[in-house]
Structure 1
Amino acid sequence: MKITIDENLFQLMPDLKLGIIHYNKITVSESPQMLKGRLQLFQEQLFFELDTKPLTDFQGIKEWRETWKAFGADPNRYRPSAEALFRRIKKQNYLRTVHTAVDLNTFFSLQYEIPAGIYDLGKIVGDIHLTVGGEEDGYDGLNGRFNSLDRILQLKDEYSPFGSPYVDSVRTAVTEETTDALHVLFLRPSMDKEEALQLTTACGNMFTSISGGESTCYVLNEESPSVLLNGSKPFNL
């Protein structure tokens, strides 16, 4: 399986970067109390911080709003997922735990102020491309409705779009049956490659410390816009 960023994206956002983590032989289950407590505490601390600090003062939120605009989307209408999480917490509408994969994905998104998505590799068809969606692009999302991806970054396999920094699809959702997964971190463009790889590796290490298995980490950018995942076994049409 090959993952590629469409080269045209770099014309609008030269510093665009993705953190890619390939997980093998993981166990997805109910989150341990340590993770549940840490996620709850982080949300409570963030709630008090948001009481005095505007959302746009958070560097990650600010950068992803700018990225949204660079590709032609309106961040006031379709919010990057990290900002949507922050807005929920600001209303004290705390996120409930689901399982280790979703809870860790949420934690990383909040901690680093970036959109992030995790996908079941067994449900992905062929190679993956990061592109900008058109009027015809969209899917049934984890938010319970159909989501248009017009002018929004999308992850697309050979079947259809399945993920984005907006909301992810039902089709490739991770469940407690998932053993191989793909974690995509929509990194801050301002990060240099070394910092981006350190962050991606830290996330992979924390994930496998809780869910077991192995992780392999990569950073895609203008200099290295694609990667071939070794040992991945995608579903074929």
Structure 2
Amino acid sequence: MKISVSNEISSVCPTFVGACVEARVVNTLYNDRLWNAIHEVEQRLRQELTFDSVKALPSIAATRAVYKLCGKDPSRYRPASEQLIRRMLQGKELYQIDTLVDLVNLASIAYGYSIGGFDADKFVGDELVLGVGKEGEPYEGIGRGMLNIAGLPVYRDAQGGVGTPTSDNERTKITLGTTHLVVLINGYDGCEERVIANAQYIQNLLIDYAKSDGGTVTIYRG
């Protein structure tokens, strides 16, 4: 998959670095071993983080800053990583969807990056471009209905928006039948080393829980 970053994003976040993990996978409804790993991370983060400190995590703080620069209120449209960690701090478990979605969510709370997971066979064309949402641009968030993405960073394929740091699109969502996975890590903090570590973490999760060889990692920048 070819991924490029528009001038709209580069102008507000010139240090942006992203990683794309692309892999062949086998999805399942539930994986007990994976959920044991999720519970371990949840327990650790509940001891380390508070509601106030979550917003100060570099990966989340940088994403919130880009939202503001693009004209979006990050407290109303929270980045997905912040949503997940706040839910966890409330004493709730992560949502249990399926193994691929669950492991992407684990990778997001473990590193604090907003991460999009997609069924790559549902993309239109072979290129994704990271830009900024427009007023009136149609976008159906997963489980959220029509979402106002004006001012949100958004990946678009040849048909339109597929993913934002707040919510991915119903059109390209992961299902139990997904066999071709693309995962996008959004490093608005510009920390390439940590973004790569997050990508390698996802590869290991795919090997352990999704009958994958881990696939490939591609780094892209603003």
8 Å Cα contact 1:200-1:218 kept in structure 2: no
Using the alignment, how far apart are the partners of 2:111 and 2:196 within structure 1? 13
Q: Which residue of the partner structure matches residue 108 of structure 1?
A: 107
Q: Deviations over 1:149-195 (max 9, x none)?
A: 10100111111211111101111111111110110111242303x44
The Cα of 1:50 is off from its aligned counterpart by: 3.5
Using the alignment, how far apart are the partners of 2:78 and 2:198 within structure 1? 23
Structure 2 unaligned blocks of 5 or more = none
Q: Which residue of the partner structure matches residue 63 of structure 1?
A: 62
Identity %: 24
Aligned partner of residue 23 in structure 2, secondary structure: strand
Q: Deviations over 1:38-69 (max 9, x none)?
A: 21232233234345863233232222212222
8 Å Cα contact 1:4-1:129 kept in structure 2: yes
Within 5 Å, which residues of 2 pair with 1:22-101?
22-24=22-24, 26-51=25-50, 54-101=53-100
Q: Which residue of the partner structure matches residue 230 of structure 1?
A: none
How many residue pairs align between the two structures? 220
**Alignment pair present for 1:12 and 2:12:** yes
Q: Deviations over 1:126-153 (max 9, x none)?
A: 1211110011224222133211110100
Aligned partner of residue 165 in structure 1, secondary structure: coil
The Cα of 1:83 is off from its aligned counterpart by: 0.9
Structure 1 unaligned blocks of 5 or more = 223-237
| TM-score normalised by L of structure 1 | 0.85
Q: Deviations over 1:174-232 (max 9, x none)?
A: 1111110110111242303x44334323322322332123411011013xxxxxxxxxx
Moved beyond 6 Å, runs of 4+: none
Within 5 Å, which residues of 2 pair with 1:187-198?
187-192=187-192, 194-198=193-197
Greater share of helix residues, 1 or 2?
Answer: 2
Paired amino acid for 2:31: P
8 Å Cα contact 2:13-2:66 kept in structure 1: yes
Q: Over the residues paired in the alignment, what is the CA RMSD in angstroms?
A: 1.9
8 Å Cα contact 1:71-1:151 kept in structure 2: yes
8 Å Cα contact 2:55-2:82 kept in structure 1: no
Q: Deviations over 1:61-105 (max 9, x none)?
A: 222212222222111111111111122122222223222110111
**Alignment pair present for 1:200 and 2:199:** yes
**Alignment pair present for 1:216 and 2:216:** yes
8 Å Cα contact 1:142-1:169 kept in structure 2: yes
8 Å Cα contact 2:118-2:174 kept in structure 1: yes
Q: Which moved more, 1:104-113 or 1:181-190?
A: 181-190
Q: Which residue of the partner structure matches residue 177 of structure 1?
A: 177
8 Å Cα contact 1:155-1:161 kept in structure 2: yes
